[in-house]
Amino acid sequence: MGKPTGFMEYERTALKEAAPKTRIKNFNDFHAPLNEAERRKQGARCMDCGVPFCQSGMMIGGMVSGCPLHNLMPEWNDLLYTGNWQQAYNRLAKTNNFPEFTSRVCPAPCEAACTCGVNGDPVTVKDNERAVIDHAWECGMTGPHIPKVRTGKKVAVIGSGPSGLAAADQLNKRGHEVTVFEREDRIGGLLMYGIPNMKLEKSLVQRRVAMMEAEGVKFVTGADVGKNYKAVKILKEFDSVILACGASRPRDIDVPGRDAKGIYFAVDFLKSTTKSLLNSGLSDGTYISAKGKHVLVIGGGDTGNDCVGTCIRHGCAQILQLEMMPEPPHERTASNPWPQYPRTLKTDYGQQEAIAVFGQDPRTYQTTVKEFVKDKDGNLKAAVLVRLEAKKDEKTGRISMVPIEGSEWEIKTDLVLIAAGFLGAESYVAEAFGAPLSARSTVLTGENESRTGVAKVYAAGDMRRGQSLVVWAIREGRNAACAVDEDLMGYSNLSRIE
């Protein structure tokens, strides 16, 4: 587990980031790697803690603590420290199909649960993971590895996000013939069009897809199953089907003036920018532009932050980000002890950039929209905001955020981006296969189970569990692959994550 005294000898050193005013000039990744000697020191900080909560993936206090994939952090941190890059990659790849994705977009619950973080700074687990997988790609350790034996069984995966790709990767390694169907023009789902390029460069997604193709996985784009591609055809041609279409139905804002021109869902805004960036370097003008606009982002999560960073790169005139809940504390509270995930204030890259450009944090807390104001042509010109306060329902005991009477004020805005989360899966795909939906609009399965109860049909990822993290999606895909393999072959040597 690294050097026994490493956590006392070496300080935590995270990846170097380009200055905000420099990095907003493009949509490229803005992190610079450490040299090998310094990176090995970071691996050495992984202490001999005895109980590595970093890899536990337990639910504590309603949030995950440690890695849901049970990544073997202490092992590959030690191998990184000793300079054994090949074995470090082997141990990393044992539990994680796509470390180049998770090491860039995962919020790192592993670091939040790191024992070093109890009285100091946690190990740079996420950065170490990135170093290992990037080195593996550079040195040809990653493959392709073509299965030597094929089973003759055919599996269809509907959706090419992280859960669908993970399921496809596992089943292909087992020797099944896998075809992935994607309704968009590019493979990757959330990884391609839901996450901005500066956070996850699309060349990394395309590189992984190309390797999976070389290993035998087939990809079909433009196949909107349940609409332009018949589910009955897939059921006839394939032995098993995995539904992994994500939780892509966005939560809306139901207030007067919602029909004003200039209000978009965040997912549509981000997708339009990435698609135009890939197609033409933004020269085709087909994207929703924030240039010169007074932008209002509704939602304080990761997607809202991505909208902030993207708008600043467009050249917006002003930006405000609304969060309904109170501002989190800057330090852990007594009710949020380690190894729970810390409910503390996080200032992400987009907010950092807004502070650098506009001189202040774009977030305002305990605030929501009461009304959108239109001009005579139906264009958005302003928004009426209102302050919120927490109130407890005497009957149910539930605490909710309610408007404070008389606290309204109006702001100028001509572009609104709704990043208020998702309500579940779009129903038409599940309905096409006869798979029942839960009250939360997720595909109904047994607890911790991928089987839908419909013959040959399985579900995985956000489509089954609801909106979640990329690491959960990969775990879901791996478990669905194991279930499919068991049913097709009578047993499975694919690992299931409990």
Angle at CA of residue 13, ends 11 and 18, nearest 5° = 155
**Domain boundary pick from 103, 138, 173:** 138
pLDDT at 435 over 70: yes
The reply to whether 317 and 398 lie within a common domain is yes
The reply to whether 335 and 394 lie within a common domain is yes
Measure the CA dihedral 183/184/188/190, to 10°: -90
Total number of domains constituting the chain? 3
Helix (H) or strand (E) holding 224: none
The reply to whether 408 and 302 lie within a common domain is yes
pLDDT at 1 over 70: no
Task: Identify the domain containing residue 264 by its residue range.
Answer: 252-420
The reply to whether 365 and 433 lie within a common domain is no
pLDDT at 2 over 80: no
Domain presence at residue 306: yes
- What pLDDT, on a 0 to 100 scale, did the predictor assign at position 179? 98
pLDDT at 4 over 90: no
What tens digit of pLDDT does each residue of 335-355 get?
Answer: 999 999 999 999 999 999 999
Query: What CATH number is attached to the domain comprising 367?
Result: 3.50.50.60
The reply to whether 266 and 409 lie within a common domain is yes
Q: Enter the tokens of residue 192.
A: 């391609």
The reply to whether 193 and 232 lie within a common domain is yes
What tens digit of pLDDT does each residue of 372-408 get?
Answer: 999 999 999 999 999 999 998 888 888 899 999 999 9
Domain presence at residue 146: no
The reply to whether 18 and 112 lie within a common domain is yes
- What pLDDT, on a 0 to 100 scale, did the predictor assign at position 29? 98
The predicted model scores a pTM of 0.96
Where residue 82 falls among pLDDT bands split at 50, 70, 90? very high
The reply to whether 359 and 237 lie within a common domain is no
Domain presence at residue 178: yes
State the Cα–Cα distance between residues 101 and 88, nearest whole angstrom.
Answer: 17
**Domain boundary pick from 138, 172, 195:** 138
The reply to whether 169 and 27 lie within a common domain is no
Domain presence at residue 272: yes
**Domain boundary pick from 420, 438, 460:** 420
- Kindly state the average pLDDT of the residues 100-121: 95
Q: Which of 202, 172, 166, 384 is nearest to 281 (CA)?
A: 202
The reply to whether 393 and 337 lie within a common domain is yes
pLDDT at 477 over 90: yes
Q: Whose structure tokens read 């068991």?
A: 486
- Kindly state the average pLDDT of the residues 205-225: 98
The reply to whether 185 and 128 lie within a common domain is no
Domain presence at residue 51: yes
Q: Which of 179, 240, 230 is nearest to 431 (CA)?
A: 230
pLDDT at 180 over 90: yes
Burial of 475 (0-12, 13-18, 19+ CB in 10 A): buried
378-391 CB burial, b ≥16 within 10 A, e <16:
eebbbbbbbbbeee
Percentage of residues in the chain having pLDDT higher than 70: 100
- Kindly state the average pLDDT of the residues 462-483: 96
Q: Is 438 helix (H, G, I), strand (E, B) or coil?
A: coil
Where residue 3 falls among pLDDT bands split at 50, 70, 90? confident
Domain presence at residue 1: no
The reply to whether 112 and 194 lie within a common domain is no
Domain presence at residue 498: no
